[in-house]
Amino acid sequence: MDDLYSLLREEALQLSSEFRKASIQGRGTSQEVADFRENAVQAFLGRYFPFPHRIAKGKVRDSFGNVSASITRF
């Protein structure tokens, strides 16, 4: 269990670093920063949920007919 904890701690540090890099790379708009961060999260999840699982974007409609702008699902 200690190995898993250590691995996840390292992953968290890497994800945090990717988020900081996203802030530098996406200086144009907040959407650019969000896109870079989304890519980092997708890469992280992809390492732990390999094929046949996948990560995709889509819209979600609730029971009241409200639609989200965008959501990432896996």
pLDDT at position 74: 47
Q: Give whole-number Cα distances, 73 to 28, 32, 45, in Å.
A: 26, 20, 11
What's the pLDDT score for residue 46? Answer: 87
On the question of pLDDT at 73 being above 90, the answer is no
Mean pLDDT of the chain: 85
| DSSP 8-state secondary structure symbol assigned to residue 51 | T
Residue 54: the pLDDT is: 80
> In this structure, what is the dihedral angle of CA atoms 21, 19, 26, 39, given to the nearest 10 degrees?
110
More confident residue, 61 or 19: 19
Amino acid 46 reads G
Question: What is the spatial distance between Cα 64 and Cα 42, in angstroms, rounded to a whole number?
Answer: 29
* The token pair that represents 1 in the structure block: 């269990």
Q: What is the pLDDT of residues 33-48, one digit of tens each?
A: 988 998 998 899 888 8
